[in-house]
Amino acid sequence: MKGESYRDFDATELYCPLCKRAVGVRKRLLLILPQGEKYDYTCAFCGTSVGDKLVTMKDKGPVVLR
């Protein structure tokens, strides 16, 4: 894991093992956990799950500076 200041990035392309190339992905809320929300990324072409991500409340909350 790297990137100390990255935010809730949205991966727009991930490698799909079925399509054998980087593909556009759909982000889908998989489940809500006490520690955050789990998102599933599926290939836009074949629907294969190509990754998932857990967005913790800490990561998720936008920091509003006043």
Q: Which residues bind Zn ion (CB under 5 A)?
A: 16, 18-19, 43, 45-46, 48
Q: Give the nearer residue to Zn ion in terms of CB position, either 21 or 60.
A: 21
Q: How far is the CB of 20 from Zn ion (least distance, A)?
A: 8
Please give the DSSP secondary-structure letter assigned to residue 44: T
Q: Which is nearer to Zn ion, 17 or 61 (CB)?
A: 17
How many Å from the N-terminal Cα to the C-terminal Cα in the chain?
Answer: 31
- Positions of E strands within 1-66: 13-16, 21-33, 36-43, 49-56
Q: Which is nearer to Zn ion, 46 or 57 (CB)?
A: 46
